Each structure stands twice: as C-alpha cells, then as structure tokens.
Amino acid sequence: MMPSIALVAHDLKKEALAAWAKRNERALARCALVSTGTTGAVVMETCPSLDIRRMKSGPLGGDQQIGALIAEGAIDALIFFPDPLTPMPHDVDVKALLRLTLVYDIPCAFNPRTADMLVAGGLLDG
C-alpha cells in the first residue's frame, strides 16, 4: 500500500518545500500526496509529474482538512516547512494540526534535513 504524505509550507517556505519535492520526486511519485491549496500549486509547478490532492489554502481551512485526514487515519506522515520568523494569523489552526500529529503518532518533518532523514529511513517506501 502506498504511503499517504501531507505537504504543507508557509509562504516563505513554499519554494524550499518545492525544491525538496523536486529532489525526491521519484519517491514522492509512489505516494498518495495531499497538500494545502497554495503549497500544492507551487509543488505541482515545480514537479508536474506529481499527482497532488489539493485542499483549501491553510488560512481558509486547509490545515483543518489535513488534520481531519490525520484523525481518520488517512495520513502516514506530514512534511511541513513552517516559517518561524513570520507571525501567522491562522496560528491556532497550525497548532491544532501539529497537536493531531502528536495525538495520532504521525511522523513529521519541519525542514529539508529532517524530511531527508524520513526518506532515508524508508518512509516513502510504504
């Protein structure tokens, strides 16, 4: 069964996530991918071969939609590149998403090096 990976990034980190996805495009192609709306658009522009199910934009409920998928057992891991230096108006939604990853023991990566370690550990192999 193919792993289901959620991709999320704050505005100033979307390009970094897209670059990471490009480096891991072959492995990600073997996964069911879901993302917040704008993040998915940026990743799809960089990696047009990837099939990504896009939710709403994070501030419009996309973080909550991905959180619901985690609660339903439909997400195996979260790759989330947050911007720690920019205040987020939807900070409460982000905290709720991260809380659910803890409650449901979902592996998370918050930067490219950690995401690389999840890939090296076989996360995308199913």
Q: Which residues are catalytic?
A: 63
Count other C-beta atoms under 10 Å from residue 57's C-beta.
16
Cα→Cα distances 30→43, 50, 67, 71, Å: 16, 9, 22, 23
Count other C-beta atoms under 10 Å from residue 3's C-beta.
19
Computed on alpha carbons and rounded to an integer, the radius of gyration of the chain in Å comes to 13
Q: Exposed, middle or buried, 110 (CB in 10 Å: 0-12/13-18/19+)?
A: middle
Residue pair 21/7 in contact (Cβ under 8 Å)? The answer is yes
